[in-house]
Amino acid sequence: MKLTLILSAAVLAVSLQPANAADKLRIATEGAYAPWNFSGPNGTLEGFEIDLANDLCKRMNKECEIVAQNWDGIIPSLTAGKYDAIMAGMSITPKREEVIAFSKPYAAAINSFAVLGDGDLANLPMAGKPLSVDSEAAKPVLEQIVKLIEGKAVGVQGSTTASSFVEQYLKGADAREYKTTEEHNLDLVAGRLDAVVANATVLSAALEKEDMAGVKLSGPLFSGKVFGMIGIGLRKEDTALKADFDKAIEAARTDGTIKTLSEKWFRLDVSPQD
Amino acid sequence: MNIFDVSFFAENFVALCRGIPLTLQLTLLSVTSGAVFAIVLASFRLSGNQVLDGLARGYIFVFRGTPLLVQLYIIYYGLSQFPELRKSFAWPFLREAYWCASLALCLNTAAYSAEIIRGGVIAVPLGQIEAAKAYGMGGLTLLRRIIAPQAFRLMLPAYSNELILVVKSTALASTITMMEVTGIAAKLISATYRPVEIFIAAGAIYLLLNFSITRLLRLLEYRLSRDRRPHQAATGEHA
C-alpha cells in the first residue's frame, strides 16, 4: 500500500513537471530540402524552417533541438517518440492526418515541373502562372499536360504530395520515386528523366546551382488540395504542444515574421493566406 | 490501430511478391556475371605473374573495402555527371537503373568470390596435384580432373554465404528507383505509414528466398561429397 502511494506520488510528480523545464523540445527536419531545410557548408542545418523553428521556440519559451531525419521514416519516428515535432516542408494531407496531428499551417505548398531546357517538355502551358488543380480552369490545362507527358519519365520524391499529384493527375507518365529531390535533379540533368515535379521553391533554389544549368521550370505553379498547406507534424496525443505551436505560428504570421523569412529564403511569400 | 494486423500483413505480403522477379533477376544476373569475372580475377591471383596478381589484388582491395552502397551511387549518380560518358556507347546501359544495379552487384560479388575461389583452389592437397603430375597430367587436364572438382566442393560453403549476401544486397537497388521487394515496401509504407507489418513481410520474403537457396546448395553439397559419406552397406537396398 505504502509502496503504491510512493510510486503514484512519483508518477504524479514526473507527469506534473512542466514539459518546457524538464526536457528539450526535439524538432525533426529532413536536411535535404533546400531552401526549406538543408545542411549548410559547415554541416549545420539551415533554411527557412530552421529559422522559423528557432523563432517559434523563442515565442513558446522553449529550448529546442533540431535534428535531421530521413524523409522515409520521418512520420514513424515521430509516433515512436524519437522527437516531438516535424518541420520538414510537410503538407497537411488527410492520409497523414490519420496517423499524426498537424499544427496550423505556416506555409502554402506550390509545386511545379522542372525540365531540360532543350527537352520535349520545355514549353508546357501556363508557364509560371498560378493554377489551383481543384479549379475548373485547371481541367483543360491538365488535359493538355497529360497528353504531352504520356510515357515520359517523371521523377518525384517518394511519399510526397508531388508523388500523389503525379499518381492522381498524370497517370500515363512513367513515374519514378527518389529518396530526395537532389537525387531526382541529378537524374534530370543526366537525362534519365524528362521532368521532375517538386515544390517550386525547392526547384527554383536548385536551379541556381551551376550544375543545374540547362534546367528550367515549366508549366503552371500548381496549388490545391493534393498539395495542401504545410504544417508542423505532431503526435496526436500532444494537444498542449499543438496549442502552443498554433499560438506561436499565428503570432509569427500576424507580425510578418513568416513573410520576412519566406522572402529571405524563397524570394516569394509563401505565408498562408486566410 | 492494432500492433500487428494480420490481414494487412497478408495483403501487403502479396503486393510485395510482385517485387520478387526483379530481386531474382538482379541476383541471377549479378551472380552469373560476377562468377565469370571472379574466375578471371582468381586466375590472375594464382597466375604467379606479379603484374596480374597485383591488378587483381588492387581490384579486390578496393571493392571489398568500400561499401556497396557507395559503389552503387558512384556508378549511378557519379558516372552520369560526365557528359562524355552520356554521349558514349555505354550510356544506353548506364542510363538504366537496372543495369547500374546489376553492374554494381556484379563488380562487388566478383571481388569476394575471387577470394573464395582462390581459397578453394589452394586448399586442394598438394600431394594430389603432385600425384597427378606424376601420372603425366598437366595443364587443363589437371585442372579439369583434379583441381576444379575439389576446389568447387571446398568453396561451396563459403560461396553459398556469398549468394545469400547478394540476395540481401539487391535491396540497395531500391535506393536508385528500382521497385524490387524493398522498393515496393518503401512505397507501401509511404502510402500507409505502417512500417511494422510491411517490413516484416519484406523480411519474410528475403528469408524464403534465402531458405530456398541454402536448401539447393546443401543438396548440391551433399551430392558432391558422395565419397566422403560412409559407404552404405552393400545389401542392394536402394531407398
A160-171: per-residue pLDDT in tens?
A: 889 999 999 999
Shared domain for A154 and A235, answered yes or no, is no
> pLDDT by residue (tens digit) across A130-166?
888 888 889 999 999 999 999 999 999 988 889 999 9
- Indicate whether B234 belongs to any domain: no
Give the closest-approach CA distance of B23 to chain A in angstroms. 17
Residue B102: domain span:
6-226
Q: Do B77 and A183 touch (CB under 8 A)?
A: yes
Shared domain for A124 and A206, answered yes or no, is yes
Q: Do A176 and B177 touch (CB under 8 A)?
A: yes
Which residue of chain B is at minimal alpha-carbon distance from A211? B81
| Cell reading at B183 | 522498393
Please report, for the domain that includes residue B47, its CATH number: 1.10.3720.10
Shared domain for A63 and A129, answered yes or no, is no
Please report, for the domain that includes residue A46, its CATH number: 3.40.190.10
Under 8 Å between Cβ of A72 and A14 = no
Which residue of chain B is at minimal alpha-carbon distance from A154? B177
Shared domain for A129 and A168, answered yes or no, is yes
**Hey, is the C-beta of A186 within 8 angstroms of any chain B C-beta?**
yes
CB contacts of A99 in chain B (<8 Å) are 193
Model confidence, pTM = 0.77
Under 8 Å between Cβ of B44 and B209 = no
**Cis before A35 (ω within 30):** yes
Shared domain for A213 and A233, answered yes or no, is no
pLDDT (tens, 9 = 90+) of chain B, 239 residues, equals 567 889 999 999 999 999 999 999 999 999 999 999 999 999 999 999 999 999 999 999 999 999 999 999 999 999 988 888 888 999 999 999 999 999 999 999 999 999 999 999 999 999 999 999 999 988 889 999 999 999 999 999 999 999 999 999 999 999 999 999 999 999 898 888 888 999 999 999 999 999 999 999 999 999 988 877 776 555 544 54
The size of the A-B interface in CB pairs under 8 A is: 46
For residue A128, give Cα distances in angstroms to A194, A222, A266.
18, 9, 15
Residue A220, φ and ψ in degrees, nearest 5: -70, 165
CB contacts of A190 in chain B (<8 Å) are 77, 80-81, 86, 95
Integer Rg of chain A from CA:
21
Say what the ipTM of the complex is: 0.73
CB contacts of B97 in chain A (<8 Å) are 192
* Residue reference for cell 576446389: B151
Residue A32: domain span:
21-109+228-266
- Indicate whether B87 belongs to any domain: yes
**Number of domains chain A contains:** 2
Which of B80, B81, B175 minimises the CB distance to A179? B175
Q: In residues, how long is chain B? A: 239
Q: Do A186 and B195 touch (CB under 8 A)?
A: no
| Cell reading at A33 | 530540402
**Hey, is the C-beta of B85 within 8 angstroms of any chain A C-beta?**
no
**Hey, is the C-beta of B77 within 8 angstroms of any chain A C-beta?**
yes
A189: which residues sit within 8 A by CB, 6+ positions away?
A116, A211, A212, A214, A215
Q: Do A158 and B77 touch (CB under 8 A)?
A: no
Q: Is the Cα dihedral A224, A230, A233, A237 positive or negative?
A: negative
